[in-house]
Amino acid sequence: MSKGIVLLAAGGTGGHVFPAEALAFKLKERGYSVHLVTDSRAERYAGKFPAEEIHVVPSATIGSKNPVAVARSLWTLWSGMRAAKKLIQRLRPVIVVGFGGYPTVPPLLAATRLGVPSMIHEQNAVMGRANKALATRVQAIAGGFLPEGGAAFPDKTVTTGNPVRPAIIAAAEVPYTPSHPGEAFNLVVFGGSQGAQYFSKALPTAISLLDDALRVRLRITQQVRPEDMEMVSGCVAKLEMGADIAPFFTDMAERLAKAHLVICRSGASTVSEISVIGRPAVLVPYPHALDHDQAANAAALAVTGGAKVIAQSELSPEKIAAILTAVMNDPEKLSHMAAAAKLAGKPDAANLLADMVEAIAAGRTIAEFKRTRA
């Protein structure tokens, strides 16, 4: 018999849906039924998201200054809130949990108006606009990187970390093995669609600048956009070196486990996964990220010594070559960075988040929940 329904709300992007999915699996293990509220973009995840049902309610973001567009968005939000209210009254969930993105706004507003327990999870070190709008209304805030003491809402914030997928938990069992001079050096390079474009241009040039003795040691895994495949593959062929180049890797967790160094963007999930596995990284925040959240995420790992953060504007191929030259000749430094990264990781984030959900659903306060953790 189910302990009750938990209604999860998430915007239809991987950054919002994946943490919700990890929590959903934990809640199902604990005997809850899970429903998901999202937008039509999340249909691509419907096959693996462990929800009894996936609901789509109208929603919109108010990003335009055009009065007509603003009025249209407000009407859509009002319609979405009415639909969410009917959904909540029908499902009678024990709690509604939001994971960011504008589709979370109608169900969370409806929940707070109906007196249903509610909380949000913020993946980034900087709170997104949707979560910021909801923060004053919900009972609790879980943070991937949000500091409990320094958060805007310290009395209701708990730093749970970001839940990561099972493959990452398995990869975390693989110890970091340094690459000594003369041995193969595994370099993993990846980013989002925008990030992959930048790395596709910068990395081949940087590698061409390396001494031959270093270049022959490199074994590269690089994620590139489909339109960049031919260019990057051609560069790698000219350099006559070992490399796996692809738009997507289904075994990225295993490749990260074997990595001696990672060069990547600093989205919340990426930083969380690197720290859970415990791998040294050069983080290059996406310069056009909203609210500069990637820079803040990167700083959270850099402060532990687990990563080096470099702005894209300062990262030339020559600098990448210099970094690779330095670290490939200093395995001890990379070992220290790997250990520091792992200390910052939160492999139990999904369990802690599930504990928090159960506590708020049962009517406990955040102060009571924090006392149980002390």
What is the tens place of the pLDDT at every residue in 193-244? Answer: 555 788 998 999 999 999 999 999 999 999 998 888 888 888 888 887 889 9
Rounded to whole angstroms, the Cα distance separating 161 from 268 reads: 10
Q: 353 pLDDT band (50/70/90 cuts)?
A: very high
Q: Is 131 annotated as a binding residue?
A: no
Proportion of the chain above pLDDT 90, given as a percent: 64
Q: Which long-range contacts (CB under 8 A, 24 or more apart) does 207-210 make?
A: 207/239, 207/241, 207/321, 207/324, 208/235, 208/239, 209/317, 209/318, 209/321, 210/321, 210/324, 210/325
Asked if the model's pLDDT at residue 316 lies above 80, the reply is: yes
Question: In this structure, what token pair is assigned to residue 304?
Answer: 């532990």
Mean pLDDT, rounded, of the chain: 89
Q: Is 14 annotated as a binding residue?
A: yes
Beta-carbon contacts of residue 333 (< 8 Å; ≥ 6 apart) = 327
Q: Is 304 annotated as a binding residue?
A: no
Question: What's this model's pTM, rounded to 2 decimal places?
Answer: 0.86
Q: Helices marked H in 216-365 — which ranges?
A: 229-239, 252-258, 268-277, 293-302, 317-328, 331-344, 349-361
Please name every residue paired with 34 in a beta bridge, in sequence order, or none if there are none. Answer: 6
| pLDDT tens-digit readout, 49-87 | 889 999 988 666 656 566 766 567 666 677 778 889 999
Q: Is 294 annotated as a binding residue?
A: yes
For residues 353 and 232, the model is more confident at 353
13-22, 40-49, 53-62, 83-92: least confident range: 40-49
| pLDDT tens-digit readout, 144-196 | 998 776 678 889 999 999 998 888 999 999 999 999 999 999 999 998 655 57
Q: Among residues 283, 305, 306, which one has the least CA distance to residue 296?
A: 283
Rounded to whole angstroms, the Cα distance separating 291 from 248 reads: 27
| pLDDT tens-digit readout, 107-155 | 999 999 999 999 999 999 989 888 998 999 999 999 999 877 667 888 9
Half-sphere exposure of 172 (CA within 13 A, CB side): 22
> Cα dist. 298→45, 89, 106, 143, 301 in Å?
27, 41, 31, 15, 5
Proportion of the chain above pLDDT 70, given as a percent: 90
Per the CB < 8 A criterion, the answer to whether 34 and 52 are in contact is yes
**What's the pLDDT at 74?**
60
Q: Is 217 annotated as a binding residue?
A: no
Q: Is 193 annotated as a binding residue?
A: yes
**What's the pLDDT at 64?**
59
Go through the domains of the chain in sequence order and give each one's CATH number.
Answer: 5-163+347-373 (3.40.50.2000), 168-344 (3.40.50.2000)
Q: 17 pLDDT band (50/70/90 cuts)?
A: confident
DSSP assignment letter at 176: P
Per the CB < 8 A criterion, the answer to whether 21 and 48 are in contact is yes
Rounded to whole angstroms, the Cα distance separating 285 from 292 reads: 8
